[in-house]
Amino acid sequence: MRSRQRMFAAVMRLLLKCLRLGRRRRFKLVRQVEQLWHYGHLCLRSLLYNSFTNGDVVLDSLFEPVYWLVDHVTRWFGVVFVALVIGLTSSIVAIVYICLLPLILQTYTPAWICWHLAYGHWNLIMIIFHYYMAITTSPGHPPQTKGDLTGVSICRKCIAPKPARTHHCSICNRCVLKMDHHCPWLNNCVGHYNHRYFFSFCLFMTMGCIYCSISGWEMFRDAYVAIEKMKLLEKERLQVAANQTYYQTPPPTFSFRQRAFHKSVVYLWVLCSSVALALGALTLWHAALITRGETSIERHINKKERQRMQQKGKVFRNPYNYGSWDNWKVFLGVDVPRHWVTRVLLPSPHLPHGTGLSWDLPPCVTKQCTPLLAI
């Protein structure tokens, strides 16, 4: 009798324990659902917390996972992009020296030979110099302590002083002085100290590609016709072999050197023309930004600020716009007329105006800048 009572008590205790576990699991599931509900409600309120929220803010929030993925892919593949730029540029230079230069020396007049040798080597030196400086020069970073900095804000990501025109790079995970963008082809940010190198590289690379496309147009056309002829003759040779008409004379075949020469010329022209179009459009875009005294990030900010001030009946003025001509002189570091040769047409490692922490009026500016706001 006692053994039955003990067994019954044990079964009841086990049943109660199972009920408690089930109840705990249900309570835990309910708590998780409540937490998710509160988190979603908080996210929705964060998107609508002030009057500055618009469609751009909502889209940025929705695409935040995509941005995170792009940032990490760009960070890890930056070295691959740099190696790709070096490899493609080296292949073009090798084709020019091996295939095109002997033809130029044999067929062109002495005047044209001097022109091609002088311009081609000058353009190549400018490309190599500015690309090397762009990838090795630090864009500039603000100090981690405030010190003597005045009128600065605090970056909400790295919790450090954030001077004017400074922005946080999510790929480098640091604030960058006068940040324009993070360039994967440089594996580096484009900022205060290397912005000129980046633009000069884009400009001279575009000029070099246009030069190769124009100079090699006749060779490209002849090489394309020769390749089409090679394909036709190869097709005829296969047909002869299939019909087993040995009494016929097989069509002549091109040697490996001839095939490689024609395909290299076509590769050079197609690559240079494609890069000239794409990089040329990017260069024109940055030239327009420099003319207005803006960076890529500031253009977006100034556009929103201009719309906001327009609603209040005021006019927004960019305080860093000194006029088109003076903007270019400030950007290129031209203080005297001879600098157009020594600092623009020749390789020059001179530093830009200012330190990137404060923006005083550069000495080369001929007039005072307009105020920030005008009623």
369 within a domain of the structure (yes/no): no
Q: Please count the other Cβ atoms lying within 10 Å of the Cβ belonging to residue 307.
A: 11
Contacts of 263 (CB under 8 A, 6+ apart): 223, 227
Q: In the prediction, which pLDDT does 126 show?
A: 97
User: Would 331 be classed as within a structural domain?
Assistant: yes
Segment 99-153, tens digit of pLDDT: 888 888 888 899 999 999 999 999 999 999 999 999 999 999 888 776 666 656 8
Q: In 3-state terms, what secondary structure has residue 168?
A: strand
Where residue 145 falls (left for φ over 0; alpha for ψ -120 to 50; beta otherwise) is beta
Reading the block at residue 322, the tokens are 């000194």
In a domain, 69, yes or no: yes
Distances (CA, A) of 75 to 34, 139, 151, 214: 37, 16, 32, 36
CA–CA distance, 349 with 129 (Å, rounded to integer)? 9
Q: How far does CA 187 lie from the centroid of its chain?
A: 9
Task: Write out the chain's pLDDT in tens, 375 residues.
Answer: 556 666 666 666 666 566 565 555 556 677 777 788 877 777 777 666 655 566 666 676 676 676 666 666 667 788 899 999 999 999 999 999 998 888 888 888 999 999 999 999 999 999 999 999 999 999 998 887 766 666 568 888 888 888 889 999 888 888 999 999 999 899 999 999 999 999 999 999 999 999 999 988 988 898 888 888 887 877 766 666 656 554 555 555 667 788 888 889 999 999 999 999 999 999 999 999 999 999 999 998 888 888 888 888 888 888 889 889 999 999 999 999 999 999 999 999 999 988 888 888 887 786 655 444 433
pTM, rounded to two decimals: 0.77
- Identify the pLDDT of residue 259: 83
- Examine residue 53 and state whether it is found in any structural domain, yes or no: no
Other CB atoms within 10 A of residue 154 CB = 11
Please tell me the distance from the alpha carbon of residue 293 to that of residue 328, in angstroms, as a whole number.
8
Per-residue model confidence (pLDDT) at position 307: 86
Q: What span, in angstroms and rounded, lies between the C-alpha atoms of 250 and 150?
A: 84
Range of the domain at 327: 63-358
Number of domains composing the chain: 1
Helical H segments across the chain, by residue range: 2-47, 55-62, 64-95, 101-107, 110-136, 195-215, 217-243, 256-291, 296-311, 324-332, 339
Question: Can you say whether residue 293 is alpha, beta or left, with left for phi > 0 and alpha for psi between -120 and 50 degrees?
Answer: left
- Contacts from 224-231 at CB under 8 Å and sequence distance 24+? 224/262, 224/266, 226/254, 226/258, 226/262, 227/262, 227/263, 227/266, 230/254, 230/259, 230/262
Rounded to an integer, what distance in angstroms lies between the CA atom of residue 342 and that of residue 246?
70
Look up 183 and say whether it is catalytic.
yes
Confirm whether 373 is domain-assigned: no
Cα distances from 177 to residues 60, 309, 342, 358, in angstroms, run 23, 26, 26, 10
Examine residue 14 and state whether it is found in any structural domain, yes or no: no
Q: Give domain status of residue 27, yes or no.
A: no
pLDDT at 200: 97
Q: Is residue 348 part of a domain?
A: yes
| Strands 174-176 and 167-169, sheet pairing | antiparallel
Rounded to whole angstroms, the Cα distance separating 91 from 272 reads 11
Question: How many CB atoms are located within 10 Å of the residue 53 CB?
Answer: 13
* Class of residue 218 by CB neighbours under 10 A (exposed 0-12, middle 13-18, buried 19+): exposed
Contact 198, 189 (CB under 8 A): no
Helix 195-215, helix 256-291: angle, nearest 10: 140
Of the candidates 183, 189, 202, 209, the residue annotated as catalytic is 183
Give the Å distances, CA to CA, from 77 to 183, 254, 356. Answer: 11, 40, 29
Q: What is the structure's pLDDT at 100?
A: 87
- DSSP state at residue 163: -
